[in-house]
Amino acid sequence: MLNHEAIRVVPGNFRRDEVKGMESTLLLSASYEPIKIISWKKAVVLSYLEKVEVVEHYERIVHSPSVSLPLPAVVRLHRYLKNLPRKVKFSRQNLYHRDNFTCQYCHQPQPAHQLTYDHVIPRSRGGETSWTNVVTACVHCNLKKGNKLLHQINYRLAKEPKEPKWLPPADFHAFLNHCTEYGIAERISPYLGHRLKLNLA
C-alpha cells in the first residue's frame, strides 16, 4: 500500500533514461472523451490517488525503488466532469485544423508553412476577425484575393466557415505521432477520434 508521501516521491525516482521521450499520457473524461495531454508523472500520481484508471499503457516498464509499472498511455477519469471546456479558442492553428489544412479558395491541402489565413470579407470592407469570416488560404490564393470579394475573382469557399464545436488541440497530433513511434497508435487513435465522431453526428 502506498501512502501519500510515497505518491509524491515515486514518480520522481524513476531513472530519466528509462522515460526519455515518454512523457505523454492522454487524459479521457469518464465518458471517454479526450480532454488533454498530461505528463506521464501526473498520470501515475492520478492513478495512485485513484482518480483515474489506466486504459492503455506503453510496453515499457519503469522502475522506482518501490514499484515497477508500465507507463500509462491513456487514463480515464473516474468522476464525471460537469464543465468540460467547450469553446474552441480562435487561433491560427485551430483555424488550420478546422479547415483540414486545406486552402478554402483553391481547395488544395497544403503543409502548414504554405498556409495563411484570410478574411473572406476583407477587413477594409468591415469584415470581422471571427470563425465565420476567416478561412485558411494558401499563400498564392491569399495574394490573388487581396482586398476583393469572392465573386469578383470567382472564388467559391470549400465549405461554409463556422465556429467549431470542438477541435483536437494541436498536441493531440503530436501525441499520436509519438504513439506511432512506440507502435501503439492503432490502440490509441480510437480514443482521440471518439469525440470527433460525436461532433460529426
Grid coordinates given for 177: 505521432
Choice from 106, 158, 176, 184 touching Zn ion (CB under 5 A): 106
Residue type, 23: E
Closer residue to Zn ion, CB minimum distance, 29 or 116: 116
103 binds Zn ion (CB under 5 A): yes
Long-range contacts of 124-130 (CB under 8 A, 24+ apart): 125/149, 129/90, 130/90, 130/163
CB 32 within 8 A of CB 194: yes
**Binding to Zn ion in span 136-175, by CB under 5 A:** 138, 141
135 binds Zn ion (CB under 5 A): no
Stretch of 10-18, 50-58, 97-105, 116-124 lying at the interface with Zn ion (CB under 5 A): 97-105
DSSP summary character for residue 120:
S
**CB of 196: closest distance to Zn ion in angstroms?**
25
Choice from 14, 96, 105, 191 touching Zn ion (CB under 5 A): 105
Question: Using CA atoms, how far apart are residues 147 and 159, in angstroms rounded to an integer?
Answer: 20
CB 63 within 8 A of CB 79: no
**CB of 113: closest distance to Zn ion in angstroms?**
14
| Helix, strand, coil % over all residues of the chain, rounded to 5 | 35, 20, 40
Stretch of 88-96, 104-112, 154-162, 178-186 lying at the interface with Zn ion (CB under 5 A): 104-112
**CB of 138: closest distance to Zn ion in angstroms?**
3
Closer residue to Zn ion, CB minimum distance, 51 or 144: 144
| Residue ranges in contact with Zn ion by CB under 5 A | 103, 105-106, 138, 141
